[in-house]
Amino acid sequence: MMRSLQSIPRSWLYVILIVLLAWPLIKPIGIKLDISDETRRCYEAIESLEPGSVVVFGFDYSAGNKAEMEPQALAVLRHLLRRNVKVIGLAFVEQGPILGEQAFQKTGWTEKQYGVDYINLGYRAGGQGTVAAFANDIPGTFNTDISGKPSTSFPIMEGIKTAADIDLIVTIAPGTPGPEDYVRQVFSSYQTPLVCGVPAVAITQVAPYVQAKQIKGILGGSPAAAQYELLIEQPGDAVAAMDAQSLAHLLIVAVIILRNIGYLAEKKASNNTANPSGRGTHS
Amino acid sequence: MKSTVPVVITAVIGIVMILDFFLPVQSVNNMASLLQSWGIVISAFAMGLGAVNLLRRHTGIIAKGEKSMLYSLLLVGSMILTIIVGLFFGTGSKLYDFLFTNILSAASRTLYASIAFYILSAAYRAFVAKNLDGWILLLTGVVIMLGTAPIGAVISKFFPAASQWIQDIPNTAGMRAIMMGAALGVVSSAVKTFLGYDKSYLGQGE
């Protein structure tokens, strides 16, 4: 029995996982969701923006990370829409512009006036070096919008020269270029406030910058997106996925415990077999 | 001469970029901006070069009729299709959006989602407390997993609090040490490059 706990067939585990992921998506359980301090800090950074403020929104994620990153982007964009601020969308990841377009559409930004209330400046290659160039010269680095029209021909770009002219930068980035590059190349020179969304596994990497007050707040993975959706009172995909994530985490913890029970029991049994009298083996 | 000129160019460009960060001198700032623009152009060309190389490599595989020919055919076909649609219909067109959403995005999301199965299998196999280190890793993993999912707070408020503590104190201390070490490494590497001791970027020595 104990031996079998050490060798549960992989296929069984996979079937249990599929059932646990699918069941709450079909029939939500409604596990209570607490708002973390980190998510609240991001919310407050955006809540404190004055109407008409200019926000740069970095769509620095790709289709592969969309499932985890897009709910964060959508929740923050919905909040920005409500704050009546201006949004300059851009990307340092090649798939960013098209995902940005989709995000603008899904959140209702496309009902606002393009070029006046929001704009999509597309993608620029070059990684961290381009982030530095962007900080020093925004219209020079992003000289056209996604459709190829000169960026300076749009009213939203009036008076925008460097990162000092931006009230807040939001970047949704699972890797590089990402929050660390913005801290090094933008915050260190211009002290522009920065809020970022990262996958759950990257929280540890970015957390030191939050403690150093170089980043105002981080959204970590789907739980943060779900919490943000609750804060703006617009529950969406992330809230719906939280029950499934909770059950999946529980399953992982359960299999770890079962495996270790099996291991410890077998170890004890083998010790007893090697030394049936229970006496020490020292000579 | 063959290696001296590139080293001098690298050193001058590197020093201009460093001065730009510390000196509010217009001429230096302008020079740095110009160099950054060149960097963006070079990066864009590098992407194009990458695409050409990829195409050459896989058309070669198709021409030779190698075993993996089918995958190469698929890659080249989808690459050409995307380029044609992007060039003739535009990246904002419905057709381009259709290809992106229904092929690339769908395939990428499927691959990403499959990680859940690997994590479950890996956790089952790797998290075995064979010694003290194993116990620490196991307990930390369990606390973080329960602390980051809403179910953790339902079981006990200990899990989110402990998870936050692990992130704020031991993790941040460790990450700061890594960052400082990496930063010092970058500085030392830059000095070696500027002085011409490290020419590995030119494909010479170490």
Q: Is residue A36 scored above 60 in pLDDT?
A: yes
Mark yes or no for CB contact B36/A136 under 8 Å: yes
Contact of A68 with chain B, judged by CB distance below 8 Å, is answered with yes
**Domain-located, residue B205:** no
pLDDT of residue B204: 67
Residues A219 and A83: their CA atoms lie apart, in Å, by 19
What is the architecture of the domain spanning A37-241? Answer: 3-Layer(aba) Sandwich (3.40)
**pLDDT band, residue A236 (cuts 50/70/90):** confident
pLDDT of residue A244: 92
Identity of residue B136: I
**Domain-located, residue B174:** yes
Cβ pair A102, A71 in contact under 8 A: no
pLDDT of residue B205: 57
Q: Is residue A2 scored above 80 in pLDDT?
A: no
Which of A34, A67, A220 is closest, CB to CB, to B160? A34
pLDDT of residue A139: 94
Which ipTM score applies to this complex?
0.81
Which of A68, A146, A223 is closest, CB to CB, to B150? A223
Q: Quick one: which of B17, B18, B49, B48 has its CA closest to B33?
A: B17
pLDDT of residue B85: 93
Residue A9, Cβ density class (10 Å: 0-12 exposed, 13-18 middle, ≥19 buried)? exposed
Residues A63 and B107: their CA atoms lie apart, in Å, by 9
pLDDT of residue B120: 92
Same domain, B68 and B114: no
**pLDDT band, residue A283 (cuts 50/70/90):** very low
Cβ neighbours for A202, distance < 8 A, ≥ 6 positions apart: A174, A175, A178, A220
Q: Is residue A277 scored above 70 in pLDDT?
A: no
Q: Is residue A279 scored above 70 in pLDDT?
A: no
Tokens of B151: 């179910």
Q: Where are the domains of chain A?
A: 37-241
Residues B15 and B194: their CA atoms lie apart, in Å, by 8
CA angle B13, B17, B20 (to 5 degrees): 135
Counting as low any pLDDT under 70, the low residues of chain B are 1, 204-206
Mark yes or no for CB contact A247/B32 under 8 Å: no
Q: Chain B residue with minimal CA distance to A8?
A: B124
**Domain-located, residue B1:** no
**Domain-located, residue B202:** no
Same domain, B15 and B75: yes
Of B125, B150, B179, which residue is a domain's last?
B125
Same domain, B95 and B26: no
- Count of domains observed in chain B: 3
Radius of gyration of chain B (CA): 26
Q: Quick one: which of A262, A187, A245 has its CA closest to A24?
A: A245
Which of B46, B149, B179 is closest, CB to CB, to A208? B179
Q: How far is A50 from chain B (nearest CA, A)?
A: 30
**Domain-located, residue B203:** no
Same domain, B77 and B29: yes
Residues B56 and B50: their CA atoms lie apart, in Å, by 10
pLDDT of residue A1: 66
pLDDT of residue B4: 86
pLDDT digits (tens, 9 = 90+) for A93-141: 999 999 999 999 999 999 999 999 999 999 999 888 899 999 999 999 9
pLDDT digits (tens, 9 = 90+) for A46-97: 999 999 999 999 999 999 889 899 999 999 999 999 999 999 999 999 999 9
Structural domain containing residue B176: 127-194
Give A263's contacts in chain B (Cβ within 8 Å): 128-130
Pairing of strands A118-123, A86-91: parallel
**Domain-located, residue B102:** yes
